[in-house]
Amino acid sequence: MGGSLAMALDGKCHRRIGIARSQETCLTAMAGHVVDHATTNLREGTEGADIVVLATPVRTILSMLGEIGPYLRPGTLVTDLGSTKGDIVDAMNRLPDQILAVGGHPMCGKEKGGLGEADAQMFEGATYVLTPTRHTTESAMSLATDMVHASGARVLILDAQRHDSAAAHVSHMPYLVASALMHSAAGAGARDHVVGALAASGFRDTTRLASSDVPMMLDILLTNRQAVEEALTLMEKSLAGAKLLLGDPDALEEWMRAAQCWRTEIFT
């Protein structure tokens, strides 16, 4: 995701500096012109930056926010691409006073991460949530907005709690449902191997998110536990409702048509 953003910002900013854990990733990123320069040194990479974008799993963002403050010059804007915002905004609120900060979450991505999957077009037309913090001045929000627009995405300003609750329903829950479906099918498949042989495109797409990066998703679930539990409870009720309707064809049909209709509303 960080690589995709860097590519989307090519020619839209003065200089893109990448920071990675391994020298190999730095070399790959520079060779592919994903960034203009790359380093494994956090201090060197952030020194003199106007904007610092933290693009790692959420709990790594949290620890970097605790570490990065002293490296930054006053007026630097810190933002991130983390999928949950509550804990991140709390950590941003604890940054030194002279630092600017806006939380960020682009509502796009692939189930596979890494530089090889980086895609300059990923942000085109996507919704990109910006979340105010104690360090969000008008000019900080304006700079963050400029960056989002330069990437091709649309800004949606949301406070952290509202973002996390909504994301639990349309992002974290689909991941859990996909993984739970894999567990169910694997359980049934252990009793009869033919279960796997019958899995086709419908099963493949419904479970796509179960192939998501585990460290990334684990951090999301652990930093949004309450909202995820609430969304799970709602999902359990939906499934229990469906089970009851199996004995009532007319009501079942109505339930099916409502789901079909809502999906058309959202995706057209």
Tokens 């409502």 belong to residue = 258
Supply the minimum distance, in Å, between the C-beta of residue 34 and a second copy. 22
Comparison of 24 and 254: residue with beta carbon closer to a second copy: 254
Q: What is the SS3 assignment for 127?
A: strand
Comparison of 26 and 209: residue with beta carbon closer to a second copy: 209
# residues near a second copy by CB under 8 A:
92
Comparison of 135 and 172: residue with beta carbon closer to a second copy: 172
Q: Alpha-carbon dihedral of residues 102, 103, 106, 110, nearest 10 degrees? A: 140
The pair phi, psi for residue 208, each rounded to 5°, is -50, -45
Does position 251 interact with a second copy (CB under 8 A)? The reply is no
Q: What is the DSSP letter of 207?
A: T
Question: Closest Cα to residue 42, out of 59, 28, 56?
Answer: 56
Pick the binder of a second copy from 139, 160, 204, 251 (CB under 8 A).
Answer: 204
Q: Which tokens go with 201?
A: 């495109």
Comparison of 142 and 184: residue with beta carbon closer to a second copy: 184
Pick the binder of a second copy from 51, 52, 129, 143 (CB under 8 A).
Answer: 129
Does position 249 interact with a second copy (CB under 8 A)? The reply is yes
**Interface with a second copy in residues 153-172 (CB under 8 A):** 156, 158, 162-163, 165-167, 169-171
Residues 82 and 167: their CA atoms lie apart, in Å, by 12
The half-sphere exposure of 114 on its side-chain side, counting CA atoms within 13 A, is 9
Pick the binder of a second copy from 3, 103, 109, 113 (CB under 8 A).
Answer: 109
